[in-house]
Amino acid sequence: MNYTVKRGIFYLSFGSAFLSLRRNILTKKIMQESLLIPKIEKTSEKNFPLFGELANLEHEQIVFCSRPEAGLRAIIAIHDTTLGPALGGTRMWNYKSEAEAVKDVLRLSRGMTYKAAISGLNLGGGKAVIIGDPQKDKNEHLFRAFGRFVDGLAGRYITAEDVGMTEKEMEWIFAETKYVTGIPKSLGGSGNPSPVTAYGVYMGIKAAAKQAYGSDSLAGKRVSIQGAGSVASHLARHLKSENAEIYLSDIFPEKADRLAAETGAIVVSPDDLYALNVNIFSPCALGSVVNDDTINHLNCDIIAGGANNILDEENRHGELLRQKGILYAPDYVINAGGIINIASEMEGYNEQHALEKTSRIYDTTLEIFRFADEHGITTNEASNRLAKRRIAGVGNLSNIYSSKSHFSKRMGEMYLRDRA
């Protein structure tokens, strides 16, 4: 009997040791596999202090999405949800580095907050970027995986179409989440928002002309457009209807040539565009085009375009433009037609209503110019202040008790408020 007990103890002890050894082996394996993840160089950490950027730009949340087998590397940034859920498009671009992608998504999402606020929408600001070549790296698995990540945010972020994306990709995302706009009209959506975005930019350009020249007529005005994509194409057609003199440039010359053939525009090389003697320069491609390298070459009266984050360093370059006497129409103000269009989709899409609301960009832009003149500040600072004023005003309403509550206890003295 003692022998049996001893055997039992022996076998029990052996089993425990075996399990302990197995755990150690698994732990070692996991640690070894984790070493396969590339280490971030210390220089990269110094170059891009992530949490410092989040604090400086006042973001609420940033989400990194990875699905290696699908080739998905995406970043979702939620800037501010005071006015409502964060709405902003998904951009697919072949970024040079992950740090560049993070910087872009943080700036873009902040711009969406101000864009929604200045446009009178009950929405917050967010944005997403997918790192990859939009000409080569697209597949259904990638976008459906991304849709699952969007769905996991349970409505805090609502996505839409942006640079490098088409309705086809939005349809794949829509297969996995309802938190997506800009889906094809055949599925009940509003489709490509670019035509409405371009219309808003056109309204902003006319407002800038009114401010600078005393008339919003663009007849005979020389306008250079950077980019020949969807927004630029629709904008060029509006300008042609007013008999403006149009100059075009794009990194893909064949796109510029096709648009020029349709609109009668003159094609110039990308390098020559900045110094071109024009009345209005309209960047409609990527951001940061007004920077230390280009600002001294600019030869225009007005900058008003559909690109986001046109100013590389918002405060410094905005002030330099003011000193040079160049009127800057803040990009997130005049390119807000896209978000106005997809916000209308969320309420039950009405194209005429979306266009009518987008036409108000004209008055909003003039209001910003007046505010800037009255306070002696740049136009981009004026638009930021007006946007923040609305966010603060509406945000303070949350201090007023409303009926969004569940009462508990018989006397109803204790309750839990719903949190949107």
Give me the residue spans of the domains in the chain: 47-191, 195-366
Q: What is the mean pLDDT of residues 372-401?
A: 92
Tokens 């755990």: give the residue.
23
Q: How confident is the model at residue 345 (pLDDT cuts 50, 70, 90)?
A: confident
| pLDDT tops 60 at residue 244 | yes
Maximum pairwise Cα distance, the chain: 109
pLDDT for 332: 95
Per-residue pLDDT at 413: 44
Q: Residue 156: name the closest of 66, 72, 61, 90 by CA.
A: 61
pLDDT for residue 36? 39
- What local confidence, expressed as pLDDT, does residue 407 receive? 46
Least confident piece of the model among 17-26, 45-54, 62-71: 17-26
Task: With a cut of 70, say whether residue 392 has pLDDT above it.
Answer: yes
Homologous superfamily, domain 47-191: Leucine Dehydrogenase, chain A, domain 1 (3.40.50.10860)
Q: What's the mean pLDDT when you consider all of the chain?
A: 86
Give the pLDDT confidence of 74-127 residue by residue, as tens digits: 999 999 999 999 999 999 999 999 999 999 999 999 999 999 999 999 999 999
Question: What is the rounded average pLDDT of the residues 414-419?
Answer: 42
pLDDT at 249: 96
Give the bridge partners for 225, in sequence order: 248, 282
192 — pLDDT class (breaks 50, 70, 90): confident
* pLDDT of amino acid 185: 83
Task: Indicate if the pLDDT at residue 144 is higher than 50.
Answer: yes
Give dist(CA 327, CA 57) in Å, integer: 25
Tell me, what's the pLDDT at 399? 74
Q: Do the domains 47-191 and 195-366 sit in the same CATH topology, yes or no?
A: yes
pLDDT, residue 362, reads 98
pTM for this entry: 0.77
pLDDT reported for residue 30 = 37
Give the pLDDT mean for 355-381.
97
More confident site: 381 or 350: 381
Q: Which residue has the higher pLDDT, 53 or 354?
A: 354
Specify the CATH superfamily of domain 195-366.
NAD(P)-binding Rossmann-like Domain (3.40.50.720)
Closest CA to 59 of 76, 75, 79, 73: 79
pLDDT tens column, 273-284: 999 999 999 999
The pairing of strands 72-80 and 61-67 is antiparallel
Enzyme catalytic residues: 127
Which of these ranges, 31-40, 131-140, 165-174, 388-397, has the smallest mean pLDDT?
A: 31-40
What's the rounded mean pLDDT across residues 146-164? 95
The yes-or-no verdict on residue 27 having pLDDT over 80 is: no
Q: Which of 171-175, 183-187, 222-226 has the lowest mean pLDDT?
A: 183-187
Residue 182 has a pLDDT of: 83
